[in-house]
Homo-oligomer: A and B are copies of this chain.
Amino acid sequence: MRKVDPEKHEERRQQILQAAARCFARDGFRGASISEICAEAGMSAGHLYHYFPNKEAIVSAMTEGGLARAAEHFEQMMQSPDPIRAFIAESTKTKRGLIKESLVFDVLAEAGRNTELADILRRHTLALRALLADFLRKAQVQGRIDAELDAEMTAAILMAIIDGARTMLIRDPKLGKGDSADYLELLVTRFLASQDSGQSV
């Protein structure tokens, strides 16, 4: 029996994830076939199935990578002098990483007709929301944002805003990116602001 070299194994895994990301970007989640991903990764189907049983498992592995990066970013943002401003700047930035914007919308569209993908999306959403809610609770303790807001619901709303920021520039690529970032900042700042003047808004 051959020994598995963990480093080599991880390298192959990443090679497949990167090849799949290119195929999904080109042909969509549904359009990209396992055989196309194999060709892109330069390996046989038998070899690829050793790493991932199907396309859903590939997307799931991508979301895990995204979550690990998000957790790092939240740690860094909490260290910054103005965590909320850092969060807004981070959220409106073009994403690096394997999950391209088109894949996000592919998965959102497919979730209604693919229960396995819907489960992966829900688990990822809940994990990311928990990180964000924790971040918001710390900001509430520091008096940076409205302490009356429910952290979980507020996190869900902020994730909706991040999704909306993505659709905004796809819907109208000519929209000034600077202007739209300024308005997104205004939106989030007004939403989160402490209501200490007591006025009803």
Contacts and interface: CB of A to CB of B under 8 A. Distances in A.
Interface of A: 25-28, 30-31, 101-106, 108-113, 118, 121-122, 125-126, 129, 150, 153-154, 156-157, 159-165, 167-168, 170-175, 179-180, 183-184, 186-187, 189-191, 193, 197, 199, 201
Q: Is the interface of A mostly helix, strand, loop or mixed?
A: helix
Nearest to A186: B191
B170 A121 contact: yes
B170 A156 contact: no
A159 to B, nearest CB: 7
Contact of A183 (B101, B108, B154): B154
Name, among A157, A160, A162, A173, the residue most crowded by chain B CB atoms within 10 Å (CB to CB).
A160
A106 B112 CA distance: 11
Nearest to A174: B122
A71 to B, nearest CB: 18
A171 B183 contact: no
A109 B113 contact: no
Contact of A171 (B27, B122, B171): B122
A167 B108 contact: yes
Given A102-B108, A157-B168, A159-B168, 13 more contacts: A28-B110, A102-B110, A102-B112, A103-B109, A104-B109, A108-B171, A112-B170, A125-B171, A153-B183, A156-B175, A159-B171, A164-B167, A190-B190
Contacts of A165: 160
Given A165-B160, A201-B189, A28 B171 contact: no
Contacts of A160: 161, 164-165, 167-168, 184
A28 B167 contact: no
